[in-house]
Amino acid sequence: MIITLKPDTTQKGIEHVVEKIKELGFAPHISKGAKRTIIGVIGENPIRYRSVFEAMFIVESVVPISRPYKLVSREFKKENTKFKVGGVEIGGKKVVVMAGPCAVENRDLILEVAKEVKGAGAKVLRGGAFKPRTSPYSFQGLGKEGLKLLAEVSRITGLPVVTEAMDPRQVEVVSEYAHIIQIGARNMQNFDLLREVGRGKCPVLLKRGIASTVKELLMSAEYILSGGNYNLILCERGIRTFEDSTRFTLDLSAIPLIKKLTHLPVLVDPSHGTGMRDLVVPMSRAAIAAGSDGLIVEVHPRPEEALSDGLQALPPQDFRHLMQEIKAVATALGRES
Ligand code: PEP
Ligand code: MN
């Protein structure tokens, strides 16, 4: 349920409403707009107390949120969510590209790729330290050592970094070294992990599960916002379908749909979304055209030597080409890159 307060309601008035919400056993979530403050009342069926709030003279309206996800919905917040990560605005006019290798393999590689992608215009460095691998015998990532390398390269290049946490016990250490915590596709419904990142302050990139609906993605997003962490980016990274010519089917229709249903920024991962290097540039163009706030792309200077996901990694010259291509699309749509 959403309580909209009358314009110019004082801080004391807001506190009064918040107290009442807590007294009734619900969680208040305050969103201050330019003119009005709205308060989300989260919990089981709060609308039964509608009249309690309607009776308050500072309350303009009380409306139920019809969707199962509440804080995430456009009904709760009309304006797009924007926030800064290490000086980079996410969800604004500028298209943000995050790029880097699938995994941090060693210091030389991550530093080389970071310099390359920065030179081409990427604003955030990606690289996995804890890797979710289908086979237990495949390279599992460098773990904490990888996080340290990411932090060092971030200091050298000035690029903020995004990297994955696979387990609630990794959240603390990942937020110590990284600027954005990635929740990978395989963990989209790891509810303990969602709650853990929701309790923290570190911005989160939540990837859509490989067999998850948009509604399930948004319910997972709700776990994070309801814990008090509002700095969330959603990511479409392809889903499983009957089509097996590509690694996954990149669901570009999810972008305008998510934009319609929520206020959260959305990224597209054309690398995992297709699994094929040749398709990464065209699907990146399409993603920006469909309204994505940015991309997360895998880049490797020698893809044939990559310890993971070499088939979908772009060599640096192809990544530079990608950046030029999406600039043209962004400009045509009145955005910047
Ligand atoms: C990744 O970004 O390296 C990754 C493993 O992605 P996903 O969880 O989307 O498969
Ligand atoms: Mn990968």
Domain ranges of the chain: 2-63, 83-332
Percentages helix, strand, coil for the chain (3-state, rounded to 5) are 40, 20, 40
What is the model's pLDDT at position 257? 98
Ligand 2 mean position, distance from CA 190 (Å): 19
Binned at pLDDT 50, 70 and 90, residue 30 comes out as very high
Sole residue written with tokens 């080409």? 321
- 8 Å CB contact between 214 and 257: yes
- Give the pLDDT mean for 65-80: 91
Tens digits of residue pLDDT in 81-125: 999 999 999 999 999 999 999 999 999 999 999 999 999 999 999
**Proximal ligand: closest to the CA of 273:** 1
Q: For residue 208, which atom of ligand 1 is closest to its CA?
A: 9
Amino acid letter, 268: V
Ligand 1 mean position, distance from CA 184 (Å): 5
Q: For residue 296, which atom of ligand 1 is closest to its CA?
A: 2
Binned at pLDDT 50, 70 and 90, residue 142 comes out as very high
- 8 Å CB contact between 251 and 239: yes
Tens digits of residue pLDDT in 122-140: 999 999 999 999 999 999 9
* Pocket-testing residue among 125, 139, 269, ligand 1, by greatest number of atoms within 8 A of Cβ: 269
Class of CATH domain 2-63: alpha beta
Ligand 2 mean position, distance from CA 308 (Å): 6
What is the model's pLDDT at position 33? 79
∠ CA 157-158-164, nearest 5°, is 95
- Whole-angstrom Cα distance, residue 217 to residue 31? 22
Give, as one character, the DSSP assignment of residue 315. Answer: P
H/E segment holding residue 335: none
Note whether 2-63 and 83-332 share their fold: no
Mean residue pLDDT across the chain:
97
What is the model's pLDDT at position 194? 98
Question: Does the pLDDT at position 34 exceed 90?
Answer: no
Question: Is residue 185 in contact with ligand 1, taking CB distance under 6 Å?
Answer: yes
Percent of the chain with pLDDT over 90: 95
Which of 333, 271, 319 lies closest to 113 in space, CA to CA?
319
Q: Which residue is closest in CA terms to ligand 1's atom 4? A: 184
Q: For residue 126, which atom of ligand 1 is closest to its CA?
A: 2
Ligand 1 mean position, distance from CA 283 (Å): 17
Q: For residue 132, which atom of ligand 1 is closest to its CA?
A: 5
**Proximal ligand: closest to the CA of 186:** 1
Question: Is residue 46 in contact with ligand 1, taking CB distance under 6 Å?
Answer: no
Identify the CATH number of the domain defined by range 83-332.
3.20.20.70
What is the model's pLDDT at position 284? 98
Chain-centre distance of CA 326, in angstroms? 20
Tens digits of residue pLDDT in 249-286: 999 999 999 999 999 999 999 999 999 999 999 999 99
Tens digits of residue pLDDT in 197-220: 999 999 999 999 999 999 999 999
Question: Is residue 263 in contact with ligand 1, taking CB distance under 6 Å?
Answer: no
Question: Does the pLDDT at position 32 exceed 90?
Answer: no
**Proximal ligand: closest to the CA of 269:** 1
Antiparallel, parallel or unpaired: β 27-32 and 59-63: unpaired
Tens digits of residue pLDDT in 282-298: 999 999 999 999 999 99
Helix (H, G, I), strand (E, B), or coil: what is residue 298? strand
